[in-house]
Structure 1
Amino acid sequence: MHADRPPSATATAIGDLADAIVAEARTWLGVPWRHQGRSRAGVDCAGLVVLVARALELADHDSTAYGRRAQGQGFVEHFRGHMDGIAVTQAKPGDVLVFADQAYPCHCGFLTERLGRLHLLHAHATRRQVIEEPYVGEWPAKIKFAFRFRSLGS
């Protein structure tokens, strides 16, 4: 992009939507963690993605047909149903990251940015609530997939 040319309407709209995704996700900070939760009374990592998508009228595929322990690729298939897979290295704020603790994908959250540093906004079972923390340490090592809402393009 040239400095003397304004961004295209498409680029601006995409940036605005990514910002809206992050802003909506941040309204969930502090909400208690609850396995398969789908409300402000309690939400899990997948529920957070579903409810942010619904709030912004983006396509979502909700399913609570999953246990506390990942089995196979079923968890990640829910994202493939309504989002575009992107290279992990291409993920930007507003995109969804999927992580694996062991062999299978089992956790997800939104990539965000604060003060020029990447963060992860997610419903954290151990911390018992939705949190936003620096995207460092264990998280980059556990990432397996990245997805972008189709409305944002890939």
Structure 2
Amino acid sequence: MTEAASADTRARVVALARTWLGTPYHHQASVRGAGADCLGLLRGVYAALYGAEPEAPPPYTPSWAEDRGAETLRDAAARHLVPLAPAAAEPGDVLLFRWRDRLPAKHCGILVAPSVMIHAYDGHAVVETWIPPGWARRIAYAFRFPEPLPEPLPESPR
């Protein structure tokens, strides 16, 4: 799965992300309708698209990015998604946000339209919202889901 997703697959990502709208915010969770944080939303959409989560994340605190000082979120995204320039992001792509200069990215969302994303909003729920200029300036990385592999053809009877 290294080829970047087609427009049809990106549209499916947007549709899958919208099924998570209203899911309550719950740190470290990834259960549609019951609870999710920003990473949980991304994990859930990935699992719906490919049949399984890409990897099990280790336990993490709300301040994990500051505590570690490493680009953990970016590195995990790079293992399973296709990197692209933030300016090239299209609906269905993943955005990673860095809240302060020189600190790692620690929040993610899925772009669903120009300047609109779906993300898990701390203390609230999974929401579809406009990306205000202050947030747009904090986009540090963008990634595209890989194109799912085609289903194998059934074996013909012998």
Q: Relative to total residues, which structure has the larger strand share, 1 or 2? A: 1
> Aligned letter for 2:119?
H
Structure-2 residue corresponding to 1:144: 140
Per-residue CA deviation, residues 14-51 of structure 1 (Å, 9 max, x unaligned), is 11111100001001011001110011210010110111
Structure-2 residue corresponding to 1:77: 75
Q: CA RMSD in A?
A: 1.7
Contact 1:110 1:122 in 2 (8 A): yes
Q: Secondary structure at the match of 2:54?
A: coil
Percent sequence identity is: 35
> Aligned letter for 2:55?
H
Unpaired runs of 5+ in structure 1? 1-12
TM-score by length of 1: 0.81
Mapped to 2, the partners of 1:64 and 1:125 lie a distance apart of: 19
Higher relative contact order (CA 8 A, sep 6+): 2
TM-score by length of 2: 0.79
Match of 2:48 among 47, 55, 59: 55
Unpaired runs of 5+ in structure 2? 149-158
Structure-2 residue corresponding to 1:112: 112
Q: Which runs of 4+ in 1 moved over 4 A?
A: none
Structure-2 residue corresponding to 1:132: 128
Give, in angstroms, the shift of residue 65 of structure 1.
Answer: 3.2
Count of aligned pairs between the two proteins: 136
Q: Secondary structure at the match of 1:111?
A: strand
